[in-house]
Structures are given as structure tokens and as C-alpha cells.
Amino acid sequence: MKRSGFLVGAIGGLSVVSSLDNVFAAAFAQAPLPGLPGGNDRVLVVINFQGGNDGLNTVVPYGLADYYRFRPSLGIPAGDVLRLDDTVGLNPVLAPFKKMYDAGNVAIVQGVGYPDPDHSHFRSTEIWQTAAPRTYETTGWLGRYLDDAGLPKDNLFNAVALSNVLPEALVARTTDVPAVDALRGYGLRSDRNGTDREAFHEFARDTTVPFRSPYLNAVAEIEDHAQRGAEELPKLVAGYTPQATYPATPLGRSLALAAQIVGSKLGTRVLYVQHGSFDTHVTQKATQDRLLADFATAISAFYTDLAAHGNDRRVMTMTFSEFGRRVAENASRGTDHGEAAPVFLIGGGVKGGIYGSHPDLTRLNMGNLAFNTDFRSVYATVIERWLGRPSLAIVGGSFPTLPAIA
């Protein structure tokens, strides 16, 4: 009997252990993962479709004749569309996602936007991230949720951004959110034997210095968080084994890590994932089809993995893009920056179906789809009905919620 093999097997949740170890392995397998407080609470995953995804070729209004008039070369033939009802259907590359819809696990909110929309990637992204179309805010909407939710202050993983830059949505006043692109490469580089790591801990916390600075405590505290987070996260998630095959794409890797963090029960409430770029001004079809197919495969693997670990009902995923695209295709088989677009809510806790009607193609707003649901209504739905907090201060106003959560 190899003792090391036993330990690895048990911690890794693997069943490949020698017969003598089976009793112990079974006992380990039934014991709950160590977990942190809130480890079984609801989780929100946000996927940002960066660059402006064309909503019209995602949820296709094949039943509206004007669609084909506006999209002579880019229009998806009615026969190819994965029909959802008599008016709309999904882009055929979304087949795995259609299965999730058919199982009642996808809510599609049609025509999401906001008044006087901005057409710049930067500003429009910032508006979605801060939930503030008219002002410049220093915190994001998810950051405000995290500050408000009364989460344990000593948990370093109340939220995790799966990116190498902290998205503005997660900028908070009193919650520090780590941004982890991938476990490999995350953390401090330091000398080979690690002795400087120990010294680092002490220095980072050392505030008994011969000067006063209003920033000293904040800097010391964040240095300490950064250091401990980087050391602890890889260890805390090491015992998780994925039960699905993810696409070998950045999105696939991000969602695999998201499932690993959820499954390791760290008390994480919000995860943020990026996907793109959807900025399809020229020859849109190849780029958008590739990105949507990747999304469909990855999200399907994600929920398969979550379900295998019993986490699918406590994880809801929301997609968004900074804007949709112009209704009429341009002369280069692409589309330019537009306005309203659909938002997806995904997961076992969602009440599947289509919310709101497709924006009217005969009443465009300077060539763009007029919105019929304010994006802050979707946020309010997520905050109130999924995460169970009042949304007024978080989304900066009173917005009606949608009955899209079971």
C-alpha cells in the first residue's frame, strides 16, 4: 500500500486507490470538503462578451421579414435557425446551448439597453460596469453588492475575477477582489527556496514605520491580502476534479477554473469571466460563429461539471455585452456599433423562457434597436431575486425586477 497514493486519491476525489484503501477512500469521499462559511450559498457568474456582440445573429428574429431586408448577406436562413418560438431562434452554432434552453435552464431577456446609449467601447463598457449611464462612478455594481452583502471580511475570495485586470464592475470600497487569470503564473515570483516569502509576510504587514501616511494601512492590508490570496487559492482548490471536458480556449479554461472555485466551496459569491472580441465590423460571420460556438460548448461543459458536483442549482450565469450592433449590415459583411441586445440568465435556478418581445425592426433608433428592458432591471433581478439583497443603492435607482428566477 502506498500511503502517498492514498492521500492523493482521497484529496483528489479519485477512486483509483488500492483495495485496502477503499474503506478509507469512501469515508473521505462522503465527508464534506473542508469549505469556508457560505460555501454552499448562491453564486453569480458574469460573462462579459467584449467588443459588442451582435444580438440579432445570436437570438435571430427569423420571423420578422425586415431582418432579411437588413441582413442580405449576414442573415441566417430561417431553415438553419434553432427555433425557440414563431419569431426567434438561436444561431445554429449555439446547439449545445439550445439543449440547456430546452431543459428550462436559460432565460433570454430581449432588447436590453439604456436611454441615450453611448457607442464607444470604453465608455459603454464602463456604463454597464458601474450601472451609471450619466455619471462617473468609482465603484462597480458588483463591488457595491459585495460591500453591502455583509460577507465575511476575512474571506479573501468573496469574489474572484478570472482576468488579469480587475474589471471595474468588481471595484469596491471595502472588499478587495483578486483577479486571477490562471492558477499558473498567479502569485508572487520569489526566490527558489521561498525564504523571502516568509519575510515578505512580515514586511507587508509592518506599519510601525517612522512616517505617517493616510494610505499606509490600506496599502499594508491589501499587500497582505494579495500575498495570502495568491498562496492560499491554489491550495484551496487543489482537491477538485472536473467532471466535464472543456474546450481548450480561454473561455473554456476560465469556466473550468470557475467551476473549480465554486466546487471548492470557498464562500465565493461572484465570479467574472471575459470572452471576445466580438467587434465584428468586417466579415462578421466567421468571428461571431467561432465565439458563440465556443461559448455554447464551454457553458454546456460548465453546467455539466457543476451538476456532477451538485452545484448547478446554486450557480447562475449572466451574459452581457457593452452594446449590440447596427441592424443593417455594412458594406463589408460586418456590422457597426449598435444599441440594445439580449441578455442570457443561465442555470438550474432560472425560470427558462423568453422575457420581453424582440425590439421592433420597423421602429429603429437611428438604425439601432430601441431597448425595452433597462439593463439595471436585469441587475436588480440578479441582486434581489438571486442574491437576495435590496438593489436600490446598488443599481442607482428603482428598477422593476423580472420573474426570471425560480
Site of interaction with other proteins (CB under 8 A): 72-73, 120-123, 126, 136, 138, 153, 156, 161, 164-166, 171, 173-179, 186-191, 193, 195-196, 199-200, 202-204, 206-223, 225-227, 229-230, 281-283, 328-334
Treating both helix axes as pointing N-terminal to C-terminal, what angle do 216-236 and 195-205 enclose, rounded to 10 degrees?
140
The closest of 295, 356, 361, 358 to 326, measured between CA atoms, is 361
Nearer to other proteins among residue 86 and residue 202 (C-beta): 202
Minimum gap (Å) between residue 50 Cβ and other proteins: 14
Minimum gap (Å) between residue 313 Cβ and other proteins: 30
| Sheet with 89-90, edge to edge strand ranges | 59-60, 89-90, 82-83
Q: Tell me the three state secondary structure of residue 315.
A: strand
Strand boundaries in 135-283, DSSP class E = 159-162, 270-276
Rounded Cα distance between 403 and 384, Å, is 11
Bridge partners, 271 (sequence order) = 45, 160
Nearer to other proteins among residue 193 and residue 398 (C-beta): 193
Rounded Cα distance between 56 and 79, Å, is 16
What DSSP letter does each residue of 388-405 carry, written as one string? ----HHHHTS--PPPS-B
Nearer to other proteins among residue 111 and residue 143 (C-beta): 143
Cα–Cα distances (Å) from 104 to 64, 154, 254, 357, 379, in that order, read: 25, 37, 24, 18, 21
Nearer to other proteins among residue 197 and residue 314 (C-beta): 197
Rounded Cα distance between 282 and 275, Å, is 19
Rounded Cα distance between 143 and 132, Å, is 13
Minimum gap (Å) between residue 33 Cβ and other proteins: 24
Nearer to other proteins among residue 190 and residue 245 (C-beta): 190
Minimum gap (Å) between residue 124 Cβ and other proteins: 11
Minimum gap (Å) between residue 173 Cβ and other proteins: 5
Minimum gap (Å) between residue 306 Cβ and other proteins: 26
Minimum gap (Å) between residue 1 Cβ and other proteins: 35
Residue keyed to cell 421602429: 363
Nearer to other proteins among residue 100 and residue 261 (C-beta): 261
CB 175 within 8 A of CB 158: yes
Treating both helix axes as pointing N-terminal to C-terminal, what angle do 95-102 and 284-308 enclose, rounded to 10 degrees?
50
Output the CA angle 38-44-47, nearest 5 degrees.
145
Minimum gap (Å) between residue 334 Cβ and other proteins: 8
DSSP state at residue 314: G
Nearer to other proteins among residue 281 and residue 314 (C-beta): 281
Nearer to other proteins among residue 18 and residue 138 (C-beta): 138
Grid coordinates representing 27? 469515508
HSE (CB half, 13 Å, CA atoms) of 232? Answer: 16
Nearer to other proteins among residue 207 and residue 357 (C-beta): 207
Minimum gap (Å) between residue 185 Cβ and other proteins: 10
